[in-house]
Amino acid sequence: MDIFKRFRRKVNGPEIASRHHIGKFKVVGTTHILGKQVLRGVVLEGVIYPGYKLKGGGIALVREIRLQNRRVDFIVEHDEAALVLEGVLKVKEGDILEVYRS
C-alpha cells in the first residue's frame, strides 16, 4: 500500500461545513453566464448570503446574489433572486435545494 495515497485524494468541489441546513431555495430556472451557472428561484425559508453553499444534485458555493438585476448582500424568505454559483449543480426546474453555512 502506498503511504501517500491519502494525500493524493481528489477533491470533488466544496464540502458542506455545517451539519444542519439553514434554509431552502426552489429553482425556477437555470442558465450559464460567462462560464458560471446561474440559478433563478425563490427562497422558501431562511436567509441566503454569498459564501453559503447549496446542496442538491451536488454541492456549489454561492458567489453572488442578484435581485432585480442588482447585486445584493443577502436575500430572505419569498424573495425571487438569481444566484451565481461557483461549481455546477445538476438541477432542473422545481427542485428544492438545501442551504448551508460555509
13-69 pLDDT per residue, tens = 566 667 788 999 999 999 999 999 999 999 999 999 999 999 998 999 999 999 999
pLDDT digits (tens, 9 = 90+) for 71-99: 999 999 999 999 999 999 999 999 999 99
User: What average pLDDT does range 3-9 have in this prediction?
Assistant: 55
Contact (Cβ atoms closer than 8 angstroms) between residue 43 and residue 72 = no
Query: 3-state SS of the chain: helix, strand, coil percent to 5?
Result: 5, 50, 45
Contact (Cβ atoms closer than 8 angstroms) between residue 60 and residue 14 = yes
pLDDT score, position 16: 62
**Superfamily for the 18-100 domain:** Translation factors (2.40.30.10)
Residue 54 and residue 9: Cα distance in Å, rounded? 23
Backbone angles phi, psi at 5, to 5 degrees: -60, -40
Q: What is the pTM of this model?
A: 0.81
State the amino acid at position 63 in one-letter form: R
pLDDT score, position 78: 95
